[in-house]
Amino acid sequence: MSISFADIEAADRLLEGRIVRTPFLRSETLSAISGAELFLKFENRQYTASFKDRGAYIYLAELDEAQRQAGVIALSAGNHAQGVAYHAKRMGVPATIVMPEATPFSKVRAAEFLGAEVILRGETISEGETFIHERAEAEGLTFVHPYDDARIVAGQGTVGLEMLRAVPGLDFLVVPVGGGGLIAGIALAAKALSPETRVIGVEATGYPSMHHALRGLAPPPGGPTIAEGIAVKRPGALTLPLVRELVEDILLVDEAAMEQGVQLLAEIEKTVAEGAGAAALAAVLSHPERFHGRRVGLVVSGGNIDARLLASVLMRGLVRGGRLVRLRIEIQDQPGGLARATAAIARAGGNIVEVQHQRWFEDVPIKLTDIEVALETRDEAHVGQVLEALQAAGMHAVRLSSRSI
């Protein structure tokens, strides 16, 4: 099964009026932070909040009438599922979606809301493959592969086509990589429209399937990740050769870097990105020397992050930045002791959000007590000022919150 730039152009015409032509915008602030000129492709603004809408439509549009009547089945951690379910519902095609058991509830609910039957199987996408093929054969369903299909690659390649038409001559395109459908399509578009533009892939350190395959290495076992959308254990048979030929490099980013990416996109761009959607930004920030002074297009590939996880990421980001800290303060266990501590914090400009007494569980003299205080601060320098104010008031204080989470 082969694919060419002509297939991407044909897909682009088919998609007219069927998907959102998402904005591709320069980020003033992220450019200043990174030292590169960054342009963001906001694929999280698709109807299902992911680029997967594109390939799913192209695949379903080419089904014959018998296949449409029988229905389709897809294997997905969530975004491909929603893309297939969304377009299947619009076309009147029955859809069954198989997801890993740990898929965020929000993605399961979204697929069900779009009319698909959802079945949870296995810990990862790969573990559901045997089941899905058995189900497809038994019920005559058409399997819509999430990445290893020419129609899917052509649809995803329209992302790169739109980017390079909007901002010609970019030095780099940085693209998150799971099975390789998105980056293979974008790289094909880049080769045709802007051969001097280099394409860089990004994978999570726990799931370096493409990175390892290109180097002849066995993939690691994987594990928990914020980027479940690219938690793929092996690349596609179609996509791997395309990536080997057209992609300059695959960079690996750790969980903390992707968390930071999610946080920065929320705080600076006021946009919600999932872990995979923030991977491209994480790569640029983790490898500043690679991109310094260059014009770089980043794909914000999706925004389907669980609300509880997003809240945790944002709070952990405050801790990392020294804007939320926990202090342990030793005070006199007598009237006015707590007031003196809070007054010292207030004079230094800290805002207390939580206080806990520790009278029995700490090794302190009986006439003293420890209090643990969570407070908001402006930055790391401000944390130091609060600690100095407490010391000046005669109280011993230590910082408990970690800046390395």
Q: For the domain that residue 367 is a member of, what is the CATH number?
A: 3.30.70.260
Number of domains in the chain: 3
Domain of residue 56, CATH code:
3.40.50.1100
- Same domain? For 163 and 231 the reply is yes
Q: Judge whether 120 and 132 are in contact, CB under 8 Å.
A: no
- Same domain? For 312 and 328 the reply is no
Look at residue 270 and give its three-state secondary structure: coil
Amino acid letter, residue 242:
L
Structural domain for 83, as ranges: 52-144
Cα-Cα-Cα-Cα dihedral sign, residues 239, 18, 52, 99: negative
- Same domain? For 212 and 194 the reply is yes
Is 405 a member of any domain? Answer: no
- Same domain? For 241 and 162 the reply is yes
pLDDT of residue 130: 82
Which residue shows structure tokens 């980017």? 163
- Same domain? For 310 and 344 the reply is no
Confidence of residue 3 (pLDDT cuts 50, 70, 90): very high
| Average confidence (pLDDT) over 121-128 | 72
Question: How does DSSP classify residue 394?
Answer: T
How far apart are the C-alpha atoms of 288 and 273, rounded to whole Å? 21
- Same domain? For 282 and 373 the reply is no
pLDDT of residue 219: 81
- Same domain? For 284 and 330 the reply is no
pLDDT beyond 80 at 364: no
- Same domain? For 238 and 220 the reply is yes
If one compares 160 and 319, the residue with the highest pLDDT of the two is 160
pLDDT of residue 1: 66
The alpha carbon torsion through 158, 161, 163, 165 (nearest 10 deg) reads -140
Q: End of a domain among 144, 174, 201?
A: 144
Confidence of residue 67 (pLDDT cuts 50, 70, 90): very high
> 238-250, pLDDT tens digit by residue?
999 999 999 999 9
Is 168 a member of any domain? Answer: yes
Percent of the chain with pLDDT over 90: 79
Is 404 a member of any domain? Answer: no
Q: End of a domain among 121, 144, 167?
A: 144
Lowest average pLDDT, out of 182-186, 259-263, 360-364, 401-405, goes to: 401-405
Joined tokens for residue 283? 């790569």
Calculate the average pLDDT of the chain.
92
How far apart are the C-alpha atoms of 47 and 45, rounded to whole Å? 6
pTM of the shown model? 0.90
How far apart are the C-alpha atoms of 187 and 176, rounded to whole Å? 12
pLDDT beyond 70 at 175: yes
The DSSP annotation for 282-328 comes to HHHHH-HHHHTT-EEEEEE-B----HHHHHHHHHHHHHHTTSEEEEE
- Same domain? For 89 and 59 the reply is yes
Give me the helix-helix angle, 105-113 and 79-91, nearest 10°. 10
If one compares 337 and 94, the residue with the highest pLDDT of the two is 94
- Same domain? For 85 and 159 the reply is no
- Same domain? For 119 and 229 the reply is no
- Same domain? For 132 and 175 the reply is no
**What φ, ψ does residue 247 adopt, rounded to 5°?**
-100, 130
pLDDT of residue 366: 64
| Average confidence (pLDDT) over 255-274 | 97
Is 302 a member of any domain? Answer: yes
Q: End of a domain among 93, 116, 144?
A: 144
* Residues that are catalytic: 52, 301
